[in-house]
């Protein structure tokens, strides 16, 4: 397609948010915020992507105000005064460049300790279990330590975490962010309530699949109440877990609709379908992607992510070496977007390799090569 008729460059309105195109910068953990405070370098890092034409920037995961939300001192937060000032600068820089930006609110849940061992903090786990280990890229030393059971979350724990999410969203809205994103995939806290391997509860927060959606839906509902009706909520979900890349929360489209329908009913607007390849079939008997099934089962706006312009997934790329070959699959992305299989295309690693990737693709330029040694080491 030419730049003028590519569906990637069609505008989109979601609640009060106007996007100039369908390209989203996918959230990527950077650990470049000393003591949790985003620096001017962080603000400029996001500004460059806005200047490069990206429609919506979703930030790296930002820890909510809870003791076990994050396990690395240089992951940013929103609740400290200095951190709020840093994010206000980042929001202003992105807006000056004509972009839009959403913070991704994050609680790592059962995976606390994967980035850095912190013995004095107990991870938040629905039932005190890490999950059945399977295909994972975590080192064996961490897995052996993590599988030791801990206490299950109490009703007080659950209330505290829901309140912390709502408080973070309220702060983000006050700082001028344009939407609120929630990390609800990959085996982190919200996802751990959905996964039967980590949620063994038999109370209101567990049991059958619908009851396992109660906690993430409660978080979405609390955030919606905190921010009002204007800002969209973007909810990232996944089938795979970092404990086991072969794990699934839904074996059928109907089960997927049960989970996602509850989140949409609670107030989520955009379903961010995190998969290892954006075009991978989600269920047998159909070539429809995970984002496609999310849209078909709920009618919500959906976003696809995974290996746009690249030949290997994040996990496979790390196992294979620092360099990931470029693959021109943009025509396939445009075809699916143009057919309304999904509505937004999230691009991760290529945003690190080329801050102006949105303009590069629009101009038909070559897809850049991603080198982890170069592009993950510093903010560029």
Q: Please tell me whether residue 217 adopts helix, strand or coil conformation.
A: helix
From the CB of residue 369, how many other CB atoms can be counted at a distance below 10 Å? 16
CA dist., res. 137 & res. 240, Å (int): 12
Question: What distance separates the 2 farthest-apart alpha carbons in the chain?
Answer: 56
Q: Please tell me whether residue 270 adopts helix, strand or coil conformation.
A: strand
CA dist., res. 104 & res. 25, Å (int): 12
Q: Where are the alpha helices (DSSP H) in the chain?
A: 40-51, 81-96, 140-146, 155-175, 189-194, 209-212, 214-227, 253-266, 290-298, 314-320, 330-338, 349-353, 357-362, 372-375
Q: Is 188 a catalytic residue?
A: yes
Catalytic-labelled residue, pool 9, 45, 46, 188: 188
How distant is the alpha carbon of residue 176 from its chain centre?
Answer: 20
The angle formed by the CA atoms of residues 18, 164 and 213, to the nearest 5 degrees, is 75
In this structure, are residues 322 and 377 in contact, taking their beta carbons and an 8 Å threshold? no
CA dist., res. 275 & res. 315, Å (int): 11
CA dist., res. 65 & res. 83, Å (int): 12
**Strand 23-25 to 323-324 pairing:** unpaired
CA dist., res. 340 & res. 304, Å (int): 12
Which active-site residues does the annotation give? 188
């Amino acid at each position: 397609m030419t730049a003028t008729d590519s569906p990637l460059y069609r505008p989109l309105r979601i609640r009060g948010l106007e996007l100039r195109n369908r390209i989203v910068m996918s959230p990527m953990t950077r650990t470049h915020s000393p003591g949790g405070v985003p620096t001017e370098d962080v603000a400029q890092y996001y500004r460059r992507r806005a200047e490069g034409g990206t429609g919506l920037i979703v930030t790296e995961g930002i820890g909510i105000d809870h003791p076990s939300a994050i396990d690395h001192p240089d992951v940013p937060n929103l609740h400290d005064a200095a951190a709020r000032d840093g994010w206000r600068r980042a929001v202003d820089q992105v807006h000056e460049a004509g972009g839009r930006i959403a913070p991704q609110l994050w609680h790592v849940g059962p995976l606390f300790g994967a980035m850095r061992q912190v013995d004095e903090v107990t991870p938040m786990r629905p039932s005190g279990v890490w999950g059945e280990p399977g295909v994972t890229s975590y080192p064996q030393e961490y897995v052996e330590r993590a599988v030791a059971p801990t206490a299950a979350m109490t009703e007080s724990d659950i209330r505290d975490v829901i309140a912390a999410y709502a408080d973070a969203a309220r702060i983000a809205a006050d700082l001028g962010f344009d939407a609120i994103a929630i990390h609800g995939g990959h085996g982190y806290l919200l996802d751990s309530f959905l996964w039967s391997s980590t949620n063994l509860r038999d109370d209101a927060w567990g049991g059958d699949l619908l009851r396992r959606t109660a906690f993430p839906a409660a978080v979405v509902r609390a955030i919606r109440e905190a921010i009002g009706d204007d800002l969209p909520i973007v909810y990232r979900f996944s089938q795979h877990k970092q404990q086991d890349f072969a794990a699934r929360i839904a074996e059928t489209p109907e089960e997927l609709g049960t989970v996602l329908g509850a989140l949409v009913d609670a107030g989520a607007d955009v379903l961010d379908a995190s998969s290892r390849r954006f075009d991978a079939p989600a269920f047998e008997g159909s070539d429809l992607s995970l984002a496609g099934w999310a849209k078909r089962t709920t009618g919500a706006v959906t976003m696809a992510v995974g290996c746009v312009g690249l030949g290997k997934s994040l996990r496979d790329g790390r196992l294979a070496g620092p360099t990931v070959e470029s693959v021109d699959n943009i025509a396939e992305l445009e075809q699916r977007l143009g057919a309304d299989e999904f509505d937004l295309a999230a691009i991760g690693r290529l945003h690190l390799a080329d801050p102006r990737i949105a303009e590069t693709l629009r101009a038909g330029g070559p897809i850049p090569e991603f080198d982890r040694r170069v592009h993950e080491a510093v903010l560029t």
